Structure 1
Amino acid sequence: MPGTTIEALFETMRSYAAEHHVPIMEEQGIGELLELLQQQKPQRLLELGTAIGYSALRMADDLPGVSIDTLERDEGRHSKALGFIHESGLEGRVQAICADALELDIAELTPFYDAIFIDAAKGQYERFFNKYESLLSPGGIIYCDNMSMHGMAEQPIKEVPRRKRTMIRNIRSFRETMDGHPGFDCKLLPVGDGLLVCKKK
């Protein structure tokens, strides 16, 4: 987008997301994620759940040394993300792939990533983790958004809307699994919508 700053593009993306009901990270959550990534300084990052490319572009803009592969299964959102990535001027470091993360052959991806950011189907986080953690370098970190799901993960299950109960049970199960995982040190941060940070031992 010639003559337009990256900050203006981000504002355009936030407005688009609000108008078209596309879920993107809350500002507090992405701010905390960017701080953690600044400390980690990953060179290669995999994101599950591109949506329109907002978090991928925020990460690429904030971390000049990172290259990002990001997966999105929805063709419409993937197409929109490609447009925003092109406008950002960051397309050399952000590769958006249209694929279902649970069906993709991981052999098609880079063998090792320093960081993996999971922000896709909320009820499938454990399946995503189990499939992709083998691509994480020793000492690498997996970041998982939406671990609170607007407070529902902390509510008695009978108070959760019926249509969301399976998802909330899955999120709780995943949190419990990671809390005692022998291969990862995990911490749940009460920022944004709940950010789980898991460092590979």
Structure 2
Amino acid sequence: MEGQLATYLTKLLPIQEDWVMEMEKEAKKENVPIMDPVSMDFIMLLIKLTKPKRILEIGTAIGYSALRMVEAYPKVSIVTIERDNARYEKAVQHIKQQNKTGNITVVHGDALEKIEAMAAKKESFDLIFIDAAKGQYKRFFELASPMLENGGLILSDNVLFKGYVVHPEEAHSRHKKMVERIQNYNDWLTKHPDYTTSIVPIGDGVAISLKNW
């Protein structure tokens, strides 16, 4: 049923521009994890609603989500961090091809180090999107949170991890520790005193955390 619902919802999405479909094909061919179209459409709606001036994205991959976020709100400025060199180069290439270098700054390096450096400079963001190493989600959140404006959002992708958070015993042995970390993250996040969080079972699960005023 879940797969059928995803197919149904995907068919309801508006026809995408050629560059979007090409990037989705490239990601599938090269086995690069990018946000699924239905979840991406949902994130784009949130951005259209909130109109953030600055976004911090943790986990660029090939630049797909950053470019889609600019598509949603062309006035936005995005700083996105990617550790993998090949993906970083691909992201820079795609962003140049779409003439969005004025909107998107791609930072190459370890996200934990880069976020700490940004926080030390007292940078500020209206929205933070976490979509990198799942085992580090809590640390990413803790480091980036002070830079988020009151009333801003932190979005965390993949927080349901293929449903294994419900049935951890079904996860492959190499994933069990990851499932446990995500379960702990979700529990910590939903009880955070400074945030109001809702986890939406769309795609692989998106947590929306509103920073309280």
Q: TM-score, normalised on structure 2?
A: 0.88
**Relative to structure 1, is the Cα distance of residues 143 and 54 closer, same or farther in structure 2, using a 3 angstrom cutoff?**
same
- Cα offset, 1:109, TM superposition: 6.3
- Cα offset, 1:122, TM superposition: 1.2
1:138 to 147, 150, 155: 150
Contact kept in structure 1, 2:157 and 2:205, CA below 8 Å: yes
* Cα distance per residue 1:58-92 (max 9 Å; x no partner): 00111112110000000110000000000011110
Moved runs in structure 1, 4+ residues, more than 6 A?
A: none
* Cα distance per residue 1:27-86 (max 9 Å; x no partner): 111111111111111010000000000000000111112110000000110000000000
CA distance in 2, matches of 1:108, 1:12: 38
Aligned partner letter, 1:192: G
CA distance in 1, matches of 2:135, 2:121: 23
The answer to whether the aligner puts 1:179 opposite 2:198 as a matched pair is no
Please show how residues 50-69 of structure 1 align to structure 2 within 5 Å. Answer: 50-69=60-79
Q: What's the secondary structure of 2:113's corresponding residue?
A: coil
CA distance in 1, matches of 2:112, 2:76: 24
How many pairs does the alignment contain?
195
CA RMSD across the alignment: 1.3
Please show how residues 57-136 of structure 1 align to structure 2 within 5 Å. Answer: 57-104=67-114, 105-107=117-119, 111-136=123-148
- Cα offset, 1:108, TM superposition: 6.9
Contact kept in structure 1, 2:119 and 2:147, CA below 8 Å: no
Relative contact order higher in (CA < 8 Å, ≥ 6 apart): 1
* Cα distance per residue 1:154-191 (max 9 Å; x no partner): 21x22211100111111110100011110000000111
2:201 to 173, 177, 190: 190
Structure 1 stretches lacking a partner, 5+ long: 1-5
**Relative to structure 1, is the Cα distance of residues 107 and 134 closer, same or farther in structure 2, using a 3 angstrom cutoff?**
closer
Q: TM-score, normalised on structure 1?
A: 0.93
**Relative to structure 1, is the Cα distance of residues 154 and 109 closer, same or farther in structure 2, using a 3 angstrom cutoff?**
farther
